[in-house]
Amino acid sequence: MAAAQSARAAWWPFGSDEEEKPRLSTLMEPASVMIDTASDYADEGKVAEAVAEYRKALAELDRVEAENPERAATSEFATVRNKRAYVSAAIDSLLMAEARQNAKAVAVSDTRALEAKLAAEKAGEKAPGTTASPAKPKPGESSRVRETAARQARMDALHKALAANPKDRRARIGLAMEDIRAQEFDSALLTIDELLQETPNDAAALNLRAALEMEKGDTVAAEKTLTQTIQSHPRSHYGYYNMARLFLKTRPGEDGRESARRYYETGREYANGPEDKNLEAELE
């Protein structure tokens, strides 16, 4: 299920917050300013300043995603992901260019040791006095490091928001989502129950509870929670789409697929939900 691991995170559309949401361009404005500043520094040859500003922009993009978890998993935030890729590439390019420049500036008065080292490496050996080459990262290791760093950035942003306002609803929902992803179910359930005590039938909290129940393998409880979500928020498409996903995962066969299709179509037509191409592909 989407809540636990990023590899499975695509199928469960978290959140059902019907509040007015700020435009993505507004959310990204601080990061865009930082990126423009970094670009100016790079044009002036100020590599250290440019890299520092780009890294600030990356942290800002992580903050935007962390504070908008229900939108971050959608195609709307593709712009954020593309911007992060651009910034990361810009940092790598600047650092590589600087390294090449520094290498050219090194004056070598006696090249014999260097030539011996290069010759030995070409022959698959190590020149005397040299240390072993650093081990190459294992496949997938760098992606895991990036995922860990991204999660830490999200957690930092959420804890910062909660330190400023312990009742911050969005931050608490985001924290519960992170706990589900990390399979820290007790902590997630505590947050979800607190939200539901404060606002019974809170749509986002109900969807999260259903996600948690499904992740724990309690499909009966998940279906019951989603039924409650649909009954209390009949004009919100999230509950219908989530129920369709649940049936696709738990009721193999044409009957389950037909039930899922009915929920999806109801969400589209009655609740005016957006087209979900991934869900439609599963329903074919």
* From 2-6, 123-127, 217-221, the region with the lowest mean pLDDT: 2-6
| pLDDT reported for residue 134 | 46
| pLDDT reported for residue 113 | 57
- Rounded CA separation 179/166 (Å): 17
Average pLDDT in the 203-211 region?
A: 91
Q: What is the pLDDT of residues 65-82, one digit of tens each?
A: 877 777 777 788 888 888
**Other beta carbons less than 10 A from residue 229's beta carbon:** 26
- Rounded CA separation 94/54 (Å): 11
| pLDDT reported for residue 118 | 58
Is pLDDT of 3 > 90? no
For residues 128 and 113, the answer to whether their CB atoms sit within 8 Å is: no
| pLDDT reported for residue 146 | 66
**Chain centroid to CA 128:** 47
Is pLDDT of 83 > 70? yes
For residues 38 and 229, the answer to whether their CB atoms sit within 8 Å is: no
For residues 180 and 212, the answer to whether their CB atoms sit within 8 Å is: yes
Q: What is the Cα gyration radius of the chain?
A: 25
| pLDDT reported for residue 112 | 58
Is pLDDT of 157 > 90? no
Can you tell me whether residue 175 is helix, strand or coil? helix
Residue 31 is given by DSSP the state: H
User: Residue 148 has which token pair?
Assistant: 């860990």
- Rounded CA separation 26/106 (Å): 46
| pLDDT reported for residue 159 | 85
Is pLDDT of 132 > 70? no
- Rounded CA separation 120/126 (Å): 5
Average pLDDT in the 170-193 region?
A: 89
For the entire predicted model, the pTM comes to: 0.56
CATH class of 6-10+23-103: mainly alpha
* 241 or 19: which leads in pLDDT: 241
Quickly state the pLDDT bin for 20 (edges 50, 70, 90). low
Average per-residue pLDDT in the chain?
A: 79
